[in-house]
């Protein structure tokens, strides 16, 4: 393999730039020409492809976001769009791809290979940590620390005013950010999509704390919880308790995606980026480079897409025990 290309797709995640850097410098180290594709599959279709050098990735390891930009491509979902993408890759002599992204990114790569046999190795770049085949995804650690910093600050004002705060964090299908930032932030309740937390249990926990003269409480809610968003849940709780409890809501939103990546995310992303390059060299295709128990593994895209990554029961149990 003499020429490869790297792109980022879907939601951005802190550490993507560290991963891009590792791909570019890893490829150059092994004597492979490396190209960048801007704006993911959209750039592949429009031909926004350019050669990268070691200098192209200087001074980016500490930056959030992605220097290659990112996008979600509706056109790539069509046969016509994928045909354009293939023609542009061929005109540049590209023989393999490194895709940095999540479920949607890998689904697109799987379809693309079935049609045009372009091998892809993926790097899991998503703050949700919801991909099977790796203990942690690029950006997750930074997102948890960002959420935790916000929770700590909200705890200060909650305590000053004897308030209950419902704090919504990202996680449409996964409660990993919620559970880890909730435990780290001392939350009384954590609500996640993986397990149902009845509203009556939330009410009883909050009331019990109040009767024990607990001056404030924090409820962390993953955006995908089946009871709804934090604002909806808070409104339902207010209907049940009336004015007895002073309830406020904070939605952290896209702040969790930004910022300089933590040391852990930089190292994780660098390890995965180099593994993707070396995976292509070894003939791997349609796999994601992941780290499980500190060992590098390659997991087929079909497994990362279809298999669920559950939250460990010990974490849920820990929230319950430590909230008393």
pTM > 0.85: yes
The verdict on 24 and 117 lying in the same domain is yes
What is the domain count for the chain?
2
Same domain, 41 and 176: no
CA 14, CA 140: separation in Å to the nearest integer? 8
Mean pLDDT of 108-121: 96
Residues 171 and 44 in one domain: no
* 126 in the same domain as 67: yes
Same domain, 123 and 157: no
Q: Strand pairing of 287-292 and 120-124?
A: parallel
At 20-73, the pLDDT tens digits run 999 999 999 999 999 999 999 999 999 999 999 999 999 999 999 999 999 989
Q: Looking at the domain assignment, is residue 202 inside a domain?
A: yes
- Average pLDDT for 166-187: 94
Contact 289, 133 (CB under 8 A): no
Q: Are 122 and 287 in contact (CB under 8 A)?
A: yes
The pLDDT tens digits of the residues spanning 129-140 come to 999 999 999 999
Q: Are residues 18 and 56 in the same domain?
A: yes
Domain that holds residue 219: 142-257
Q: Which residues are catalytic?
A: 128
174 part of a folded domain: yes
Residues 266 and 250 in one domain: no
Residue 324 lies in a domain: no
The rounded distance, in Å, linking the Cα atoms of 120 and 117 is: 9
Task: For residue 244, name the pLDDT band (cuts at 50, 70, 90).
Answer: confident
Residues 267 and 124 in one domain: yes
Q: Clarify whether residues 10 and 114 are in a common domain.
A: yes
- Answer yes or no: do 57 and 161 share one domain: no
Q: Do residue 166 and residue 235 come from a single domain?
A: yes
Residue 62 in any domain: the answer is yes
* Average pLDDT rounded to a whole number, residues 170-186: 94
Give the separation between CA 300 and CA 315, rounded to whole angstroms. Answer: 27
């Amino acid at each position: 393999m003499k020429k490869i290309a790297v792109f980022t797709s879907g939601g951005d995640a802190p550490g993507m730039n560290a991963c891009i850097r590792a791909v570019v410098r890893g490829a150059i180290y092994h004597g492979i020409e490396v190209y960048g594709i801007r704006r993911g599959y959209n750039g592949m279709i429009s031909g926004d492809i350019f050669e990268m050098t070691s200098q192209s990735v200087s001074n980016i390891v500490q930056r959030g976001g992605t220097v290659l930009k990112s996008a979600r491509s509706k056109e790539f979902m069509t046969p016509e769009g994928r045909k354009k993408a293939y023609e542009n890759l061929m005109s540049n002599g590209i023989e393999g791809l490194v895709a940095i992204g999540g479920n949607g990114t890998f689904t697109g790569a799987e379809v693309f290979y079935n049609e045009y046999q372009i091998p892809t190795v993926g790097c899991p770049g998503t703050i949700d940590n919801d991909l099977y085949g790796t203990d942690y995804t690029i950006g997750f650690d930074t997102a948890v620390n960002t959420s935790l910093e916000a929770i700590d600050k909200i705890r200060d004002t909650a305590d000053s005013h004897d308030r209950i705060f419902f704090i919504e964090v990202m996680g449409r299908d996964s409660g990993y950010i919620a559970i880890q930032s909730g435990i780290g932030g001392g939350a009384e309740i954590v609500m996640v999509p993986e397990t149902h937390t009845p509203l009556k249990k939330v009410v009883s926990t909050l009331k019990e704390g109040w009767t024990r003269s607990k001056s404030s409480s924090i409820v962390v809610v993953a955006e995908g919880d089946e009871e709804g968003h934090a604002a909806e849940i808070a409104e339902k709780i207010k209907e049940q308790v009336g004015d007895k409890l002073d309830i406020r809501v904070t939605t952290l939103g896209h702040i969790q995606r930004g910022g300089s990546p933590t040391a852990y995310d930089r190292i994780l992303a660098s390890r995965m980026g180099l593994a993707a390059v070396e995976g292509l060299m070894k003939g791997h295709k349609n796999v994601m480079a992941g780290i499980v128990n500190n060992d590098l593994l390659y997991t087929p895209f079909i497994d990362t897409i279809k298999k669920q990554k559950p939250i460990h029961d010990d974490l849920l149990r820990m929230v319950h025990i430590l909230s008393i």
